[in-house]
Structure 1
């Protein structure tokens, strides 16, 4: 999504509508007019559509619609322009915490989106909502006696991108929904005497999807259910997993303008060596094409497994093992401090960039020999898909989307040519080190097997076109039945 981004949700909202439209469907996106849309450099048009949302008997909040398109130039994006709520430095909060009025902000957005759909004038078959910020939409569609005519026969789909973020608010926040308080009950809005936007969306949606089939299973367990496992188990017959895709026009090593040398499956050895050398020279690492380079990109947060990987990096550096490391990310100050200390102490073996650089992310994927993701949980994950595409062998925890997209290298998978990476069997420093050790042993001592793993990964199809076909199938079944589909989609 070129207008606003904090994670994988933006990638889905930017790519999926375009791919669904390519199959002959009419799609559009509705999102808040965050401050970032005006910084995107993409033309934004004014419209003559404006209206007011009664947020309480004493509070009427007006807004207008702005309009642009996704990069395909055809799929419209409608923005709910309400500066009081959305013209802020960040989307959901600052380093000090979430905005204190997020309940009101996103109740307004949900209600305004429904009113906007009526005023845009398109017939609506499916309303596809994403995460807690839109969790009230399916509920309002079911409970509002004044629902616009254009939405009365529409079905709703809710995608959970990360169950840990739920939109949990005091019961008093229910007033912002505009509905009768009789709907504040356990079967609809109420959750332990609070209002939980995501729980509300789960209960009221016709279909719930997650961003991988493994994650769809995991969130119904106590370990990964984040308190909503019971709710999800109660609607399990309408929970589906569809793995996210990647934009292969942007993430394509044969045409990527960010790379020193472009390459494909037929010349990856040469291409990756050239890009590795460029990274080594840029960061002052020892220039050695035979030295395995291990890449890591992402948030420096405990969920991403940094408590396990930092000791492994330190161990490799202190013992002068034949590896180089390159890290791109930001987050927890403790991890940033530890990584800075390692980069200072071992400048010829460890490269660090605190912050984010899209250009550097592409270059790391192209120059690394392997990419480590020791996540404690990972609903889908995208970096492992980029890594497969760029020939950077993923070393991952078999959780969520990582388990669905990476095939562990075993004697069997190597023999039938399906292996694409290495699993971390126990997510602690020793377990991470052991998985990296297996990968290094293959690279140093079985180069033909390593080459097979790289090429098998590069030939995988994890495009959005593939994922969009599954969504179109799900939409069609939901519309046709007007009840949850009964058969599971293919993984």
Structure 2
């Protein structure tokens, strides 16, 4: 079986979040299970691409409105990611130093043109294949027009019977644009325009849900949540439920391995408490923080949907009431949230360590050093941080939604793995912190909890098997 994934991100080539992590892992694990998987993505002007050698595969052009779009398909030589990676080079569209925004932080203003040109270039190339893949697997709205074009654009009539899968990693980003820009698309029968439309706009995400043969989300609970809260698409997800399913993401256990992770100072040998304490001492070197005090971390985008606005308020509340815990935060994003966190580090230098940065290596060190990680997300389709944390012996404190609901069991149960919060109030979150501190103080039970969560299996092996079963239904 041959699966061709199409996405805007793929780690380590280009990543802004979980989408990149998943595209860098799932194809590798599918290959290990005997399912030949490749990835197609745009070619950005970013450091990883500049270090690679490429082989030319195909070149072509098409008119997008009055603009003549030239593109080249290239394959990365030697398969450094464990699977074949193809890039689409579209001069003037993707030869930039960022995925969605430049290094100056400003978002690009031609996202529609970039998205449509990438989709069309991919299908122009795929149309020339004599031996098509068994499934085209599209990820998020950046590739959402592909299932429609395969089915209803005469230019791609040879692809209409080729199965497509569409995976939603975050439905909040739908890529909608006005019908006045429909000229960007290849020709299609006007009576099929309803397969593009949602709320009088061309909505790539909604179109993919309508047109793909199968629709997946990255956790079962998230799929159920979309039926009641999906920014206006609730009725669509209800009507397409017959072909939809949630498959919980996994993580790459080769990359996320505390026993041989080169990004942490002290690898896990025999003693989990010693591994944790030594990493804490390393992280806290040169600071006023105490390695013996329970440490709670937040790692991620400083964004409203991640509940990051609650983090400074929670830290302020807990430290003002002298709760015996200290805090480590790593992230960038909303400038007001960054400002509040910086102010906290000045007020509580002995109990808070704030990094306003994106730093992959530092994130690994924080996972290895923390006792708890907090995820007060308002939206969490799957969540990977809780899985990374548990792999490194760090207990998750999570809002009970989406993939967090599916992957964390409250420690009230005998086999519990974390602390769950039902409501995102500061009082409820502070109570979760209180529970965490009490759990930490019972050393015997806490060490058993650490050992238990480190033995949980969140690898891609199980998730990849679920995808394979779905692919087989389409043959």
TM-score by length of 1: 0.90
Find 1:323's aligned residue among 322, 325, 338: 325
Distance in structure 2 (CA, Å) of the matches to 1:294 and 1:328: 12
- Which residue number corresponds to residue 346 of structure 1? 348
4+ runs deviating over 6 angstroms: none
Residues 202, 440 of structure 1: alpha-carbon distance in 2 compared, 3 angstrom cutoff: same
**Contact 2:217 2:381 (C-alpha < 8 Å) held by counterparts:** yes
What is the total number of aligned residue pairs between the two structures? 464
Distance in structure 2 (CA, Å) of the matches to 1:473 and 1:216: 18
Distance in structure 2 (CA, Å) of the matches to 1:226 and 1:97: 25
Structure 1 residue 447 displacement after superposition: 2.6
Q: How does 1:165-184 map to 2 (within 5 A)?
A: 165-180=173-188, 182-183=190-191
TM-score by length of 2: 0.93
**Contact 1:115 1:148 (C-alpha < 8 Å) held by counterparts:** no
- Which residue number corresponds to residue 474 of structure 2? 478
- Which residue number corresponds to residue 253 of structure 2? 248
Residues 462, 220 of structure 1: alpha-carbon distance in 2 compared, 3 angstrom cutoff: same
Residues 118, 274 of structure 1: alpha-carbon distance in 2 compared, 3 angstrom cutoff: same
- Which residue number corresponds to residue 21 of structure 1? 31
Matched, 1:236 2:221: no
Gapped regions of structure 2 (runs ≥ 5): 1-10
Q: How does 1:385-464 map to 2 (within 5 A)?
A: 385-410=387-412, 413-414=413-414, 418-444=415-441, 446-464=442-460
Find 1:271's aligned residue among 272, 275, 294: 275
- Which residue number corresponds to residue 488 of structure 1? none
- Which residue number corresponds to residue 463 of structure 2? 467
Find 1:191's aligned residue among 188, 198, 206: 198
Residues 315, 217 of structure 1: alpha-carbon distance in 2 compared, 3 angstrom cutoff: same
- Which residue number corresponds to residue 52 of structure 1? 61
- 1:362-395 per-residue CA deviation (whole Å, 9 max, x = no partner) reads 0100110111001111011111001110111000
**Contact 2:127 2:156 (C-alpha < 8 Å) held by counterparts:** no
- Which residue number corresponds to residue 307 of structure 1? 309
CA RMSD, 1 decimal: 1.9
Distance in structure 1 (CA, Å) of the matches to 2:220 and 2:78: 28
Matched, 1:87 2:95: yes
Distance in structure 1 (CA, Å) of the matches to 2:437 and 2:347: 24
Structure 1 residue 73 displacement after superposition: 5.5
Distance in structure 2 (CA, Å) of the matches to 1:69 and 1:260: 32
Find 1:107's aligned residue among 109, 116, 120: 116
Gapped regions of structure 1 (runs ≥ 5): 480-491
